[in-house]
Structure 1
Amino acid sequence: MISEEEAWDAFERRDRSADERFVVAVTTTRIYCRPSCPARRPRREHVRFFGQGSEAVAAGYRSCLRCRPDEAARDKQAVARALTLLRQAEAPLRLETLATAVGYAPHHFQRLFTREVGVSPAAWQRARRLRQADQRLSEGASVAEAMYDAGYSAPSRFYEDAKVLGMAPANARKGGQGTIIHWAKVDSPFGPLLIAATERGLCRVSFDEGVDALRRRYPAAELVENDGAPLIVAARAAIDDPALAASLPTDVSGTAFQQRVWAELRRIPPGETRSYLDIARVLGDPNATRAVGTANGANPIAIIVPCHRVVRNDGTLGGYAGGLERKKDLLAVETKQSQGSLL
């Protein structure tokens, strides 16, 4: 149970992400609601908070017929069950099949799933298959092997998914055909980095990778080792001075949602952190914390797009592709630098 001050703040904001954490009881009407209930807000002195609906019932309150708070947990469980079914499925599941399996009408479950996860079931499945194909490409599989291993029945469907999702890495741009990528392996205070850039911007910054990993992502591109390329030099400078990173151009592709998340990450000042919930709220959907986490983990440009500045909602560090110790070091250095700049 969160503090009453935090609960009241969430109730005033109609924060949907709080629906599973507590219910709000109104002493004058003897009704309890979800924090996101659209009804007019009562005065503060007429409000009590309970950890769950059963506690409110025991205290003599009845469920709101408008927001139906007792269904919040059921909705959450249904989405979790649907995600399990989607992960276990060997072929794409139709919305009707998925909704029936979890006991909801298709049109209602479409809205529920999208609200909770951030994308529709169909979009989630497209993104998952495309991620699987991209992972196989990064492991050295051919385009054909990657497509079929990910469950695609034809190349046309594979490229159509890439187009719909707005993705254009090695898979959607046919391996970077016609692209020149300058790259370099550089030492940094946080370990060895691979830095790569096209003429349009940085396309890869990652720890502990070599040119072979870059070649697997862009098998048809022309890779040129060049540690003097302007963007590589600029990226190295930004690693030492994080304030420079926000102005560097990037050439990365992802879904529209991922692009919004990455853009928001670049707005986090050095020395500060944001939670997944903070980012989701800025994007206008507090329920999209899981989708924010997924987009954060898919970031292809370490440090420059500072995914290390995002922490769990409870304040703990969470994971990091470059390793948790690196994340701690990055945050410690940036905090020290930002504090020093204020002296």
Structure 2
Amino acid sequence: MTFRYDFAPTPFGDALVVFSDEGIVRFDLSEAADPSVPWLLEDVSSRLRDVPVPDPGAADELAHLLADYFAGSRVRFDEEVRLDWRLIDGFHRTALQEITKIEWGQTASYGEVAVLAGSPGAARAVGTACRLTPFSIIVPVHRVVRSDGTPGQYGAHPEYKRYLLDLEQNQTT
């Protein structure tokens, strides 16, 4: 298995994209302002038990989809790119796969996703799955909100979540 990486532009800065032979393994916005931070690659290397190699241009297709998305097009990333789910399993993976079904401009609560994923009462586990997602934006965890409808967190950047929700809400009318 070969792992490679590239960067894709977003309004939040360049995101790290790691690929395997099977698809995207990780799309990371956590330090988008400076994706060259060595710990990002160290973390993914540790989890993959291999060191991804630079592959300039590997994220070009994804970059075009992201540009369309941020321009307001209803992109279904899970239908447009292949995902390699190897970094997440069990209930967290099931929850994330259910989250891919939340439509553009719609939201679901953590509890609603737990029910859809087959584990009523596992709302906190859904929150953990959202926090651990290796596919920020691509799996729309920003569409998962608190039971009172407020956005909640988005890693260390709740403002990203609000931006994404507003982007989609403004394009639904």
TM-score normalized by the length of structure 1: 0.43
Match of 1:210 among 27, 31, 36: 36
Pick from 38, 48, 56 the counterpart of residue 227 of structure 1.
56
- The number of aligned residues is 159
| Aligned-partner Cα distance in 2 for 1:254–1:297 | 11
User: How far apart in 2 are the matches of 1:243 and 1:280?
Assistant: 24
SS at match of 1:305: coil
Give CA deviations for 1:239-270 in whole Å, capped at 9, x if unaligned. Answer: 23252302122113323211111101111112
Structure 2 residue aligned with 1:183: 5
Verify the 8 A CA contact 2:88 2:133 in the aligned structure 1: no
Contact kept? 1:239, 1:303, Cα under 8 Å: no
**Is there any run of 5+ residues in structure 1 with no aligned partner, and where?**
1-178
Report how far residue 317 of structure 1 moved: 0.8
The whole-number CA distance in structure 1 between the counterparts of 2:159 and 2:135 is 18
Secondary structure, aligned partner of 2:166: helix
Moved more, 292-301 or 205-214: 205-214
Runs of 4+ in 1 over 4 A off after TM superposition: none
Contact (CA 8 Å) 2:8, 2:62: kept in 1 or not? no
More relative contact order, 1 or 2 (CA 8 Å, 6+ apart): 2
Contact 1:246 1:267 in 2 (8 A): no
| 1:197 paired to 2:19 | yes
Displacement of 1:331: 1.1
Indicate whether 1:313 and 2:135 are aligned. Answer: no
RMSD (Å) for aligned C-alpha atoms: 1.9
- Residue 296 of structure 1 corresponds to 130
Rg larger for: 1
Paired residue for 1:246? 78
1:301 alignment partner, SS class: coil
Shift of 1:211: 6.2
The one-letter amino acid of 1:191's match is G
1:29-40 equivalences in 2 (<5 Å): none
Q: Are residues 1:282 and 2:116 paired? A: yes
How many Å apart are 1:222 and its aligned residue?
A: 4.3
Amino acid at match of 1:234: E
**Which amino acid in structure 2 is aligned with residue 239 of structure 1?**
L
Aligned-pair identity (%): 31
Amino acid at match of 1:181: F
Amino acid at match of 1:204: R
> Does the Cα contact within 8 Å between 1:184 and 1:227 map onto a contact in 2?
yes
- Whole-angstrom distance in 2 between the partners of 1:321 and 1:334: 19
CA displacement at 1:307 relative to structure 2? 0.9
Kindly state the Cα deviation for residue 201 of structure 1 after the two structures are TM-superposed.
Answer: 1.1
Please tell me the residue identity of whatever aligns with 2:54.
E
Q: Aligned-pair distance for 1:322?
A: 4.9
1:273 is the counterpart of 2:102:
no
Q: Secondary structure at the match of 1:287?
A: coil
Is the Cα–Cα contact under 8 Å of residues 100 and 139 in structure 2 kept in the other structure? Answer: yes
Question: After superposition, what is the alpha-carbon deviation per residue over 1:24-48, rounded to whole angstroms, capped at 9, x for unaligned?
Answer: xxxxxxxxxxxxxxxxxxxxxxxxx
Give the aligned partner of residue 334 of structure 1.
168
1:14-25 paired onto structure 2 within 5 Å: none
Task: Give SS of 2:75's match.
Answer: helix
* Conservation of the 8 A alpha-carbon contact between 2:108 and 2:144: yes
Contact between 2:15 and 2:28, CA under 8 Å: does it hold in 1? yes
Q: Distance in 1 between matches of 2:16 and 2:157?
A: 16
Partner of 1:260: 94
TM-score, L = length of structure 2: 0.81
How far apart in 1 are the matches of 2:151 and 2:143?
9
